[in-house]
């Protein structure tokens, strides 16, 4: 195809490794708290992918999103009635 420019970008291995580490952390935390592992892990992955692809914040956005998720879970669990 004449006139099309193909640019190759480096694969963001660190970013995807960070997503996996955060998902594993929330999976183990949910297991420790006897909560839904799929829900916590899924929320972690969804927040990471939204920060990366939708908001274009990169790895810093992923970290901030995970901190926000951790804070949200902590606030929810402390205010929830037993």
- pLDDT of res. 5: 74
The phi and psi torsions of 43 (rounded to 5 degrees) equal: -60, -40
Using alpha carbons, select from 49, 24, 39, 25 the residue that is nearest to residue 77.
39
How do the domains of the chain map onto residue ranges? Answer: 13-79
- Residue by residue, pLDDT tens for the chain (82 residues) are 566 777 777 878 999 999 999 999 999 999 999 999 999 999 999 999 999 999 999 999 999 999 999 999 999 999 987 7
Distance between CA atoms of 1 and 39, rounded to whole angstroms? Answer: 45
């Amino acid at each position: 195809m004449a006139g099309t420019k193909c640019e190759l970008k480096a694969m963001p291995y660190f970013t995807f490794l960070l997503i996996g580490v955060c998902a594993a952390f929330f999976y183990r935390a949910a297991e420790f708290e006897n909560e839904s592992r799929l829900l916590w892990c899924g929320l972690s992955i969804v927040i990471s992918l939204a920060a990366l692809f939708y908001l274009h914040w990169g790895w810093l956005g992923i970290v901030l999103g995970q901190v926000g998720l951790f804070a949200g879970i902590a606030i929810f669990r402390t205010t929830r009635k037993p």
